[in-house]
């Protein structure tokens, strides 16, 4: 029989965990794994030209499939390059199993070239990090890593794999896969519903936190329709937990406490879903809810309860199942006909609001350069239904965010605030679910991980990369204006312009093997989208905006 090594065991564990792709950028410390992949045809190696792109692609793939994705990085330098996107993955609670090759343990004590404290580096951006020092521990460590990554709250985990450890001969008896934790509603749903039913339903609102999972959408909708409540989301959310075409959808809340307070009005109770819904940047000394408002909180983890405001009632458990149970209990305590009338009223208010906003936004579509709201809306209107959007751009932060088309599994935002996530994540989403994917990024964000375009071309991933180009860090300029900062008052923004020289995104895309176009009018934008959808593989569409 051939020699069976820890690297072979690693691949067998990946197969049993359902992994069919490894996202990575290899180096000499990963050679044992790369050698084993030579004759493997059931696990594909997705090459990234920079480690941040490898993690970003894996992040999008995991979000699209709902399963942990596997990443292989190159020792300390590779892990260092990847840490910004790993920070974003931890914030997004994306399940990833990340490994990096470590130097040979036989001279690790002498701190050889390419070595480093990988576990210490990874601990701040992962749920769990460890280094494997025996070949026989590789398979158990991987099993543990996958179990931790997929256990709520999900997130990235890290294993340091010394190169000689992967080459050790090991037994073929692999540890069994751990069962996924059972999903269950939290306790106290009936009491929660009873207290909520005591409030005037016309003064109750539902707020979806920035970490609510997509599979909670049915539960949120059941609660909203049972009570006839408006539903608000947060502007920066890695996943969408409510469909924007539902009559109860009241739009996203801006990250400004004064704006949140204005949007909520005189509510007397809110149902907070998930960890955090009160996101503000920059700081304002405002209270986002009225003093007398009561908070009813449903979360997956107990540490979320009371994080921002004390809870009048709280349920900890699977969010979707808990909300569905609360909705059943609430429906039994309230007038269903009255709830239906409130839902219809919310729907009519939404229809008129959306019509007015769309008309105002599209009235400026003929301006040159195109205003950001108009550019974003034209693109979204031109995309076929069901095409997911992956974004790290502020182009959707204006009035257009109130009429955006979003749905569970079809909109992903870089919740951690890290630029450079969207382009590789869009490639991962395309690999995970197939079909076209739209990527929204600004000219600044596009330069953080443009290498993702090469991977898209190499994988023939159908991604439409939209680069909304105003040749500046406009979101930063807007923050400076809002703060009355000296940059803004002087009209000289230090380090915020990207125009000398101006980046040629079409040339950059073509060097990566990606077809590119520049669209300066609504007609040109629609035509470029149609051509990109008809073409196999990736396309970059640059849209100059004001």
Q: Which long-range contacts (CB under 8 A, 24 or more apart) does 244-251 make?
A: 244/404, 244/405, 244/406, 244/407, 245/405, 245/407, 246/221, 247/343, 247/344, 247/346, 247/347, 247/350, 248/206, 248/221, 248/224, 248/343, 248/346, 248/347, 249/350, 250/205, 250/346, 250/350, 251/401, 251/402
- CATH for 270: 3.40.50.1220
Is the residue at 173 inside a domain?
no
Residues 346 and 481 in one domain: no
Domain with 330, as residue range(s), is 189-350
Q: What number is the average pLDDT over the span 146-160? A: 95
| Domain shared by 327 and 418, yes or no | no
Residue 254 in domain: yes
Which one of 107, 131, 166 terminates a domain?
Answer: 166
- pLDDT, average across residues 302-312: 92
Q: Is the confidence at residue 220, as pLDDT, over 80?
A: yes
Instruction: Give the containing element (helix H, strand E) for 320.
Output: helix 319-331
Same domain, 339 and 379: no
Tell me the average pLDDT across 309-319: 96
pLDDT digits over 115-125, tens only?
A: 789 999 999 99
Residues 346 and 375 in one domain: no
pLDDT at 489: 84
pTM confidence score: 0.95
**Domain co-membership, 33 together with 105:** yes
Quote the pLDDT of residue 482.
83
Say if residue 338 is in the same domain as residue 434: no
More confident residue, 487 or 147: 147
For residue 489, being part of any structural domain is answered with: yes
Pick the residue with more confidence: 1 or 542?
Answer: 542
- The reported pLDDT for the residue numbered 349 is 97
Co-location of 290 and 379 in the same domain: no
Q: Which residue has the higher pLDDT, 6 or 276?
A: 6
Q: How many domains does the chain have?
A: 3
Q: Which residues share a beta bridge with 450?
A: none
Same domain? For 20 and 143 the reply is yes
Look up the CATH number of the domain holding residue 98.
3.40.50.970
Residue 5 bridge partners (DSSP) = 169
Residue 447 within a domain: yes
Q: Indicate whether 182 belongs to any domain.
A: no
Weakest mean pLDDT among 131-140, 470-479, 524-533? 470-479
Residue 416's pLDDT band, with cuts at 50, 70 and 90, is: confident
Please tell me the predicted confidence (pLDDT) of residue 112: 77
Last residue of a domain, one of 109, 131, 166: 166
- Whether residue 172 lies inside any domain: the answer is no
Residue 328 above 70 pLDDT? yes
Confidence at 373, pLDDT banded by 50, 70, 90: very high
* Separation of alpha carbons 287 and 133, rounded Å: 51
133 falls within a domain: yes
> Is there a single domain that holds both residue 138 and residue 277?
no
Residue tagged 């909708």 (tokens)? 221
Query: Same structural domain for residues 123 and 58?
Result: yes
User: Confidence band (pLDDT; 50, 70, 90) for 141?
Assistant: very high
Could you report the per-residue pLDDT of 469-519, keeping only the tens digit for each? Answer: 999 998 888 888 888 889 888 888 999 999 999 999 999 999 999 999 999
Task: Evaluate whether residue 131 is within a structural domain.
Answer: yes
Q: Do 296 and 414 fall within a single domain?
A: no
Q: Determine the pLDDT at residue 415.
A: 81
Residues 54 and 104 in one domain: yes
pLDDT, tens only, 178-200: 888 788 999 999 999 999 999 99
């Amino acid at each position: 029989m051939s020699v069976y090594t820890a690297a072979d065991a690693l691949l067998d564990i990946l197969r049993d965990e359902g992994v069919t792709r490894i996202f990575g950028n290899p180096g000499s410390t990963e050679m044992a794994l790369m050698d084993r992949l030579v004759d493997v045809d059931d696990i594909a190696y997705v090459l990234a030209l920079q480690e941040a792109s490898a993690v970003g692609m894996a992040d999008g793939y995991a979000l699209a499939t709902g399963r942990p994705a596997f990443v292989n990085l190159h020792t300390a330098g590779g892990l260092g390059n990847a840490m910004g996107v790993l920070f974003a993955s931890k914030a997004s609670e994306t399940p990833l199993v990340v490994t990096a090759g470590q130097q040979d343990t036989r001279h690790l004590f002498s701190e050889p070239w390419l070595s480093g404290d990988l576990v210490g580096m990874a601990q701040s951006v992962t749920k769990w990090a460890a280094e494997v020092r025996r070949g026989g521990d590789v398979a158990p460590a991987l099993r543990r890593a996958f179990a931790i990554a997929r256990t709520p709250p999900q997130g990235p985990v890290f294993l340091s794999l010394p190169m000689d450890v992967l080459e050790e001969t090991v037994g073929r008896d692999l540890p069994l896969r751990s069962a996924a934790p059972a999903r269950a509603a939290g306790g106290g749903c009936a009491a929660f519903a009873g207290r909520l039913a005591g409030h005037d339903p016309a003064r109750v609102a539902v707020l979806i936190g920035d970490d609510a999972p997509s599979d909670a959408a049915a539960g949120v909708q059941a609660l909203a329709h049972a009570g006839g409540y408006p539903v608000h989301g947060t502007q920066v959310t890695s996943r969408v937990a409510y469909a924007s075409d539902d009559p109860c959808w009241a739009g996203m809340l801006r990250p400004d406490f004064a704006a949140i307070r204005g949007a909520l009005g005189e509510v007397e109770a809110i149902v907070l879903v998930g960890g955090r819904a009160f996101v503000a940047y920059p700081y304002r000394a405002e209270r986002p809810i009225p003093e007398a408002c009561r908070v009813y909180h449903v979360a997956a983890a107990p540490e979320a309860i009371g994080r921002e405001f004390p809870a009048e009632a709280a349920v900890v458990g699977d969010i979707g199942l808990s909300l569905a149970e609360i909705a059943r209990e609430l429906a039994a305590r309230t007038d269903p006909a009255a709830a239906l009338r409130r839902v219809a009223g919310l729907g009519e208010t939404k229809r008129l609001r959306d019509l007015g906003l769309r008309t105002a936004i599209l009235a400026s579509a003929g301006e040159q350069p195109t205003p950001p709201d108009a550019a974003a809306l034209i693109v979204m209107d031109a995309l076929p239904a069901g095409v997911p959007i992956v974004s790290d751009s502020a182009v959707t932060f204006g009035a257009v965010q109130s009429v955006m088309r979003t749905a569970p599994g079809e909109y992903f935002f870089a919740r951690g605030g890290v630029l450079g996530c969207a382009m590789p994540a869009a490639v991962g989403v395309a690999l995970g679910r197939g079909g076209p994917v739209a990527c929204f990024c600004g000219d600044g964000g596009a330069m953080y991980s443009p290498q993702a375009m090469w991977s898209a071309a190499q994988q023939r991933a159908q991604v439409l990369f939209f680069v909304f180009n105003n040749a500046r860090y406009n979101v930063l300029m807007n923050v400076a204006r809002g703060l009355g900062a000296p940059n803004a008052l002087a009209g000289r923004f230090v380090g915020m312009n990207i125009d000398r020289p101006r980046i040629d995104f079409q040339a950059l895309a073509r060097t990566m093997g990606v077809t590119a176009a520049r669209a300066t009018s609504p007609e040109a934008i629609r035509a470029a989208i149609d051509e990109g959808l008809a073409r196999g593989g990736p396309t970059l569409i640059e849209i100059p905006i004001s």
